[in-house]
Structure 1
Amino acid sequence: MTEESSIHFHLSFIEPQAHYVNVKMTIKGFRNQEYIDVKMPVWTPGSYLVREYARHVEQFVAKSASDDQLDFQKINKNTWRINHSGEDLVVSYSIYGFETSVRTNHIDDSHAFLSPAATFLHVAGHIHQEATITIDLPKTWTKISTGLQKSESDLFTYYAANFDILYDAPFEIGNQDVWSFDAANVHHEFAMVGSGNYDKDRIAADVTKIVEEETRIWGSNPNDFYVFITHNYQIGSGGLEHLNSTVLGATRSGYNQDVFYKNYLSLVAHEYFHLWLVKRLRPKPLGPFNYDEENYTSLLWIIEGFTAYYDNLITRRCGFRDEKDYLQMLALEFNTVYNRPGFEYQSVGLASFDTWIKQYRPDENSANTSISYYNKGAMLAVALDTKIIRETNGVYRLDDVLKAAYTHFYLIEGRGFEEKEFQLLAEEVTGVSLSEIFGAVYTLEELDYNNYFNPMGYELVDLNEHNQSLSLGIKTANNDTRILIKGVDRDSGAWHAGLNVNDEIIGVNGYRLDPNGRELEHIIHDSHAGDVIDVLVARDGLLKTIPVTIGYSDKKAYIIQPLENRSEEQLRLGSIWLSL
């Protein structure tokens, strides 16, 4: 590689209606080499699944600067080896993209959303090489939204100091609705894709509150420019964080509905919080990235779980949720975990480590074998927050730990953290022993969370604790009047009897099921625990009668509510925890 080395991409859309983007990659200065390997990432940071982006690469061609075609060989799933002529190289290829998500390419006649890890190749061993990107817009498209630095000379050319930055800067290209506002001394741009009943002024005002509250927590904002890209769908959700941007999914008709809108603000708060936690303050294995394979860590319960705790807490602090609403959202984390039998089989540390094979690949048995580090991490985060508040008499809380960790590991030392040193720093900052909570990360034993809620003046209560409702332990779905089993709970009557997912329930105790399955509900309601009912199912076209024992439901219905007769101290600490 010479000092004059450079990489330039030229993007064009010859057939957007067929879901293609055409890419021309000009590689200059990489001389005195027998061959050059160019590679595509197999995953994108923030979404921990090997997605095999290279499967969408088509029409790969390599030429010299003098337009001579060069021989190449694909040496593995995501690497092309090009025989080097000694001249500069031009690599051309097409990418097919028609998957609706925040982490994959979607191209049609109205717009192109480009996930850079799924679009751009890099020269092997030169991830730190700078790159420029020029985009040719179709005649009917007018706008580009991205967090990358714009060229001063060309409105449609962008610059990335290295490929880590490029792979962390998605592009929205089309006719999106764009507006901007300033918050925490940072210029923010909104790009709304697709129609929706959103109010720009309201969103700008509310997101400003979120940005300023989160900047206050962390002490400083690392950006001077930030982009929110929102894709509006009939039903939409989810998001993915980036270095100075995020991509969100939203329900186009939900902005004037209280629940949908508050959940959208929580999503904004979640992804923006990742500016600090994940994108900068992160575990050692998550930077620098290895784009060729899984990057394992057991600490997603911190970086995602803590963020899942703070997203709704931020909306509470900003005044978007009242106390009751916030506590309902927090209780949802407990219900989600404890209503999956998998919480007795998988620790949150293992859930973090196994995200590459479990989190994004759920099946019919996932609820019986696994939990989400988002929900369980949020539960541990509230335990840490309330314990620190209690033990320090309200002087410190989890906010202070995060700010200190960001300052120490990222701003001062410029590196990732390990779990033990994160715990030690937290204990040093607060003067509180946190070993009980950190120790719960790798065990199946549950904390008594009321030990943490009660000093704040609240209690976690299961409304179903004394409820003896009956159940077979199955989840069903109505598919065109066919009642199909979609889930079987571990250790339930259905589990032990051998009912299977995708069994069609035809009848019970000699009665044919009505199209809505109400007959099954009536029979269970009129039975007693221990009764055996005969369930007639169709399995792969064969009829089979299976005797199933009815049992008590083990489903939880947790709420978090104020204690009666709270002391002045409980009221004081509780007000610190849930302060506006």
Structure 2
Amino acid sequence: MGLNAKAENVANIAFEVSFTEPQAHYADVKMTIDNINKNDILVKMPVWAPGSYLIREFSKNVESFKASSGVEKISKNTWKINTKGKKSVTINYRVYCFEVSVRTSFIDDSHAFLSPTGIFMYVDGRLAEPATVSINPFKGWDKVSTGLEKTDGKSFTYYAKNFDWLFDSPIEVGTQDVFDFDVVGVKYEVAMVGGGNYDKERLKTDISKIIEKETDIFGENPNKRYVFIVHNYLSGGGGLEHLNSTVLGATRDGYQNEKIYKSFLGLVAHEHFHLWNVKRLRPIALGPFNYDEENYTTNLWIAEGFTAYYDNLITERAKLINTDEYLDMIQQDINAIENSQGNKVQSLSDASFDAWIKYYRPNENSGNTTVSYYNKGSLIACMLDLAIIKKSEGKQSLDDAMRYAYNEFYKKKNRGYTDAEMKLVFEKYTGENLDTFYADYINGTKSLDFNKYLGYAGLTLVDRTPITKQPYLGITVSKSNKNEIAFVSRNSSAWDSGLNVNDQVLAINGQRTTDVLKDVANLDINKDAEFVVGRDGILKTIIVKFKPSTSKNMVIQEVEKPTDAQKTVLEKWLSL
């Protein structure tokens, strides 16, 4: 999918980005539109960034919008420009960029990160046209890192074959530390922003292992060039995938800490895996994009959940983590989902569809009403993987299903898949009718029978929940105030008794408290407790009747005498 932009690749839409006041966090954008054949055109700013399913209203950061012809703003993100008798129009606007994340633009006096859907506008009806972007770096800035291809003979000028490519190509401008390496016939570039105690050679070696293992799954790497933009912070994380690049957040001085470093490699594996799963093999709703509104799909559990499954599995295959560490990650996901109150309320398909209003807009009750399509989707992928390995007696795995779907929908049909089509793919490789599986686990909220699938590999879940006589309240407290309730778990003692989020717990059984959870741990589980709370300036007395916690601590263990068939599944699954 790489594109060598030649000098003759002239675009009718061109951008020029300058930084006259980077210390004040502004980008100055000049947009030139040629080949106009209408009396008016609509110029729009996208409202969301692909890969991050939330309406972010990027136009809120636009100011000083001016055009060389008459202009009228007609909606939150749309400007109507009178172009009667004109073949060309020039637009100038400024964008305020001061939000630190992998999906939003940030500019200061040290660098500029341009997240394109929040910087570049488009002409309604002309998304399929190519565009050029010229960057004028601020004084002292000498590098530009982006997946866009350079145009011949022009410094810091880049070409996008259409606006989907432009909007999927973040741009880093500054003095970043850049190093590159070649693997599987692809040139990889890493742009390190913000310093850090990283070891370049170790990163090259370990990232190469990840790339090789992921490429093996799909049988090809669809790019000629790929860019990692890594923003290093005091404490950082998160990532966002793009067609031939990704943006990662990392902890600046965490690269020498093995736990933090392995977590970073897992993030690399996750976002890089997306270049196949999501960016090419994708739900049918996710491309071509509508940049004006939500793009709904019930399949984020595949797009994100399967990627969350493979990120850890790939690092295990690459021997960047050991088998025990990997099984511990599976174990953590099982406990997180099965102990989640929201898992009993929201299905995976609903979690995917409602990501726009729930996952990216959590509130104090989200833990009781929602489930993560990342964690639970990862467990579904694991269950299907084990089922495929068992059915094929170790000859196939979920890899084969993913490769088949990639070839069938992306390469042959050049479109996304429907929910029904992916179900057929999974049925083809598991050899099972998955109607009940889908009804229970995808479209329903039935508890996962994970023991069944682990059993295929000679593993079992053992309940290691500690026996305790400590009372369970069922709250979490504010990080800044151990007396302020931040979350109340559904059906817990606190929930049933009427304790609320934002309540300030002042006293328990007549004794002043400065640490609610610590003082509750010293109470008698068989006796009621009197809580005095402050709620909106009013004192309330609440009697709490304690009940046991329903949380479990499940541990994965090997069965005592695994069969040869179980050994075959385990060896295939974990590449032993």
Q: Normalising by structure 2, report the TM-score.
A: 0.96
Contact 1:380 1:437 in 2 (8 A): no
* In structure 2, C-alpha distance between the alignment counterparts of 1:503 and 1:330, rounded to whole Å: 35
Alignment partner, residue 382 of structure 2: 382
Alignment partner, residue 58 of structure 2: 53
Write out per-residue CA displacement over residues 366-386 of structure 1, whole angstroms, 9 at most, x where no aligned residue. 000010100110111111000
Contact 1:401 1:430 in 2 (8 A): no
* In structure 2, C-alpha distance between the alignment counterparts of 1:248 and 1:329, rounded to whole Å: 21
Q: Offset of 1:463 from its aligned partner?
A: 1.7
**Aligned pairs for 1:188-267 within 5 A:** 188-267=188-267
* In structure 2, C-alpha distance between the alignment counterparts of 1:312 and 1:5, rounded to whole Å: 42
**Structure 1 letter corresponding to 2:28:** N
Contact 1:347 1:443 in 2 (8 A): yes
Write out per-residue CA displacement over residues 340-376 of structure 1, whole angstroms, 9 at most, x where no aligned residue. 2011100011000000000011010000001010011
Q: Which of 14, 21, 34 matches 1:15?
A: 21
Give yes or no for the alignment of 1:416 onto 2:416.
Answer: yes
* In structure 1, C-alpha distance between the alignment counterparts of 2:540 and 2:497, rounded to whole Å: 12
Write out per-residue CA displacement over residues 443-493 of structure 1, whole angstroms, 9 at most, x where no aligned residue. 11123111100120111233228666520111113535x511111010111
Alignment partner, residue 3 of structure 2: none
SS of the residue 1:390 aligns to: helix
Alignment partner, residue 442 of structure 1: 443
Write out per-residue CA displacement over residues 200-221 of structure 1, whole angstroms, 9 at most, x where no aligned residue. 0000000000001100000101
Give the stretch that moved more between structures: 141-150 or 535-544: 535-544
SS of the residue 2:141 aligns to: coil
Q: 1:292 to 1:467 in 2, by over 3 A?
A: same
Q: Offset of 1:558 from its aligned partner?
A: 2.4
Q: 1:490 to 1:516 in 2, by over 3 A?
A: closer
Contact 2:239 2:249 in 1 (8 A): yes
* In structure 2, C-alpha distance between the alignment counterparts of 1:37 and 1:234, rounded to whole Å: 42
Alignment partner, residue 325 of structure 1: 325
* In structure 1, C-alpha distance between the alignment counterparts of 2:322 and 2:372, rounded to whole Å: 26
Q: Normalising by structure 1, report the TM-score.
A: 0.95
SS of the residue 2:449 aligns to: coil
* In structure 2, C-alpha distance between the alignment counterparts of 1:431 and 1:519, rounded to whole Å: 55
Alignment partner, residue 24 of structure 1: 30
SS of the residue 1:229 aligns to: strand
Structure 1 residue runs without a partner (length 5+):
64-69
Q: Which of 42, 47, 52 matches 1:42?
A: 47
Q: Percent identity?
A: 50
Alignment partner, residue 71 of structure 1: 70
Give yes or no for the alignment of 1:551 onto 2:551.
Answer: no
Contact 1:461 1:559 in 2 (8 A): yes
Give yes or no for the alignment of 1:166 onto 2:166.
Answer: yes
Alignment partner, residue 67 of structure 1: none
**Aligned pairs for 1:115-126 within 5 A:** 115-126=115-126
Alignment partner, residue 179 of structure 1: 179
Write out per-residue CA displacement over residues 475-525 of structure 1, whole angstroms, 9 at most, x where no aligned residue. 113535x511111010111111111111111110001113575323212xx
Contact 1:392 1:432 in 2 (8 A): no
Contact 1:472 1:549 in 2 (8 A): no
**Aligned pairs for 1:302-381 within 5 A:** 302-381=302-381
User: What is the number of equivalent residue pairs in this alignment?
Assistant: 566
Alignment partner, residue 66 of structure 1: none
* In structure 2, C-alpha distance between the alignment counterparts of 1:78 and 1:390, rounded to whole Å: 52
Structure 2 residue runs without a partner (length 5+):
1-8
* In structure 2, C-alpha distance between the alignment counterparts of 1:239 and 1:369, rounded to whole Å: 25
**Structure 2 letter corresponding to 1:528:** I
Q: Which of 501, 522, 525 matches 1:528?
A: 525
Alignment partner, residue 576 of structure 1: 572
* In structure 1, C-alpha distance between the alignment counterparts of 2:461 and 2:420, rounded to whole Å: 29
Contact 2:473 2:493 in 1 (8 A): yes
**Structure 1 letter corresponding to 2:33:** I
**Structure 2 letter corresponding to 1:314:** I
Contact 1:13 1:22 in 2 (8 A): yes
* In structure 2, C-alpha distance between the alignment counterparts of 1:556 and 1:223, rounded to whole Å: 45
* In structure 1, C-alpha distance between the alignment counterparts of 2:438 and 2:467, rounded to whole Å: 32
* In structure 2, C-alpha distance between the alignment counterparts of 1:509 and 1:147, rounded to whole Å: 62
Write out per-residue CA displacement over residues 394-422 of structure 1, whole angstroms, 9 at most, x where no aligned residue. 11110000000001111111111111111
* In structure 1, C-alpha distance between the alignment counterparts of 2:279 and 2:148, rounded to whole Å: 16
